[in-house]
Structure 1
Amino acid sequence: MFICRNQSCGAEWALSDVVIKNEGQGLLFRCPMCGARNYVERHDSPEGEVSYEQIADIDPKTKR
């Protein structure tokens, strides 16, 4: 589950609800409701499965 870090939004989204892409500042998804950038980190398991974890320690207004 991902949570929009825009303080006035805070919407919750499943992976199937968002599009993860690199817009030049690292992997992120834009909140489908408000458009805010939310950064994620990709994890590859030894079995070849890909998962994403939302990065919570980046200020949403700070560029990576």
Structure 2
Amino acid sequence: MTMFFTCRNQSCGAQWEQSDVVIKNEGQGLLFRCPMCGARNYVERFEADDGTIVYEQIEGRPFI
């Protein structure tokens, strides 16, 4: 199953696979910047049942 992230910038809306983006913490929580428009898109980190790390996109900014 391929997971897609969608840029939350209303004028962009591009879809990206996790392998297309760099997830990092810029001081406001985990995020990726859209490769097309540079908008911040926030994610949460989870550990799956098999131990792999999974990221899920969230709306808005996370509570820190």
**TM superposition score normalised by structure 1:** 0.85
User: RMSD value over aligned CA atoms?
Assistant: 1.4
Structure 1 stretches of 4+ moved >3 Å: none
| Distance in 1, Cα, partners of 2:58 & 2:47 | 16
| Distance in 1, Cα, partners of 2:41 & 2:27 | 13
* Structure 1 portions without partners, runs of 5+: none
* Structure 2 portions without partners, runs of 5+: none
**TM superposition score normalised by structure 2:** 0.85
Q: Secondary structure at the match of 1:6?
A: coil
**2:15 counterpart (6, 12, 25):** 12
Q: Secondary structure at the match of 1:16?
A: helix
Aligned residues: 59
